[in-house]
Amino acid sequence: MATKPDIELVALTKRYGETLAVDRINLRIPAGSYCCLLGPSGCGKTTTLRMIAGHEEVSDGDVILGAENITRLPPAARGTAMMFQSYALFPHLDCTDNVAFSLKMRGVDKETRRGRALDLLKRVQMEPYAKRLPAQLSGGQQQRVALARALITDPQVLLLDEPLSALDPFLRVKMREELKSLQTRLGISFIHVTHSQDEAMALADIIVVMNGGRIEQAAAPREVFNKPASAFVARFIGGHNVLPAAVARAKGEGEFVAIRADRITLQPGPAPVDATSISGVTRSVEYLGATVQVGIDVAGLEPLSAVVPEARFDANPVAPGQPVVLSWTPKDVHVLGR
């Protein structure tokens, strides 16, 4: 088989009149990667995905798949396929005909396309439901059919727009595992738009954090979490306290630093502070099972948090309204770029 292609975005730009939805982004996604586009509402994730799919005209820049510039090709000629948030199944067609639909559009004869559709349904464990209509399926089952439908054209890249957002939390985690396992088995790249940090952390080989039409950071989940590139990334990805560098007495270029919430040590106050501690007031205490999350207000700073193992919290409990001292070790202070 031919080697699988990398996908590359080169100075990719989308303008809607005055709005700059995507602002000259550059990104290389190695073949066979699970890539999550992550960011707050309006940051340009969906527009980027739609430009890769060919559903949105590019204002400037290029989309390269392998050696081919696919920027101006129609959606069906690009080697990409898209799975939509709502699944967009045809209500009047059974699973087989839904999955076979794009082969029908390409003039493939009925027997061949039904055979292919059944193969694909088998791959997503939906063969027993081949004759059912979408309305007779659960949300998770509809999603598997939508996946089979997107995969029937043998895409090099599968594009998924918020594929898990319509599912309840339990099913979301189950389908998340299925997506990852399917991507691993197929060995093609998946590009998955989400605004969920957890989803991106769980699934991605590469997380692309977007903000205001630009890429803040594109890296493996562990790198994004352990070395957030900017204060925006540290705040958005969660689990970090962002402090002015001067408060943390950090040396380095940046204006802000990040300290992971699970690296903060808490002690009931009032107590003396030094160069690696500050005092505040407990705002909230949330029991999360294995850990307890404590919200803390410190005058002049954004809200802080500490995540403490349950047993350690129980040995030194704090309650809302109570003074508290937060401390850290210098090696846990990560200086942020701008």
Provide the minimum distance between the beta carbon of 21 and ligand ATP in the complex, in angstroms, as a whole number: 3
Q: What is the distance of C-alpha 22 from the center of its chain?
A: 17
Q: Identify the CA nearest to 100 among candidates 85, 88, 115.
A: 115
As a whole number of angstroms, the distance between CA 168 and CA 10 comes to: 37
CB count, 10 Å around CB of 337? 16
Size of the site for ligand ATP (CB under 6 A): 12
**Which residue number, 19 or 267, has a Cβ lying nearer to ligand ATP?**
19
Provide the minimum distance between the beta carbon of 294 and ligand ATP in the complex, in angstroms, as a whole number: 30
As a whole number of angstroms, the distance between CA 5 and CA 28 comes to: 11
Is 43 a binding residue for ligand ATP by CB under 6 A? The answer is yes
As a whole number of angstroms, the distance between CA 261 and CA 281 comes to: 16
Selected binder of ligand ATP within 15, 16, 136, 184 (CB under 6 A) = 16
Confirm if 258 and 334 have CB atoms less than 8 A apart: yes
**Which residue number, 55 or 195, has a Cβ lying nearer to ligand ATP?**
195
Is 21 a binding residue for ligand ATP by CB under 6 A? The answer is yes
| Distance between start and end Cα atoms, the chain | 44
Is 19 a binding residue for ligand ATP by CB under 6 A? The answer is yes
| Contact set for ligand ATP, span 182-211 (CB under 6 A) | 195
Strand intervals (E) in the chain: 7-16, 19-29, 34-38, 60-65, 68-69, 80-83, 157-161, 189-194, 206-211, 214-219, 240-244, 256-260, 265-268, 277-287, 291-297, 304-309, 323-327, 334-335
Provide the minimum distance between the beta carbon of 230 and ligand ATP in the complex, in angstroms, as a whole number: 17
Provide the minimum distance between the beta carbon of 39 and ligand ATP in the complex, in angstroms, as a whole number: 6
β-bridge mates for residue 327, sequence order:
265, 277
**Which residue number, 36 or 151, has a Cβ lying nearer to ligand ATP?**
36
Selected binder of ligand ATP within 6, 45, 158, 324 (CB under 6 A) = 45
Provide the minimum distance between the beta carbon of 190 and ligand ATP in the complex, in angstroms, as a whole number: 17
Provide the minimum distance between the beta carbon of 336 and ligand ATP in the complex, in angstroms, as a whole number: 22
**Which residue number, 19 or 316, has a Cβ lying nearer to ligand ATP?**
19
Provide the minimum distance between the beta carbon of 210 and ligand ATP in the complex, in angstroms, as a whole number: 7
Provide the minimum distance between the beta carbon of 186 and ligand ATP in the complex, in angstroms, as a whole number: 25
Is 47 a binding residue for ligand ATP by CB under 6 A? The answer is yes
| Contact set for ligand ATP, span 109-138 (CB under 6 A) | none
23-42 footprint of ligand ATP as x/- string (CB under 6 A): ----------------x-xx
Selected binder of ligand ATP within 25, 35, 46, 328 (CB under 6 A) = 46
For strand 7-16 and strand 60-65, is the pairing parallel, antiparallel, or unpaired?
antiparallel
β-bridge mates for residue 157, sequence order:
80, 189
Angle of helix 110-123 versus helix 139-151 axis, rounded to 10? 130
Tokens of 313: 């919290």
Interface contacts to ligand ATP, rule CB under 6 A:
16, 19, 21, 39, 41-47, 195
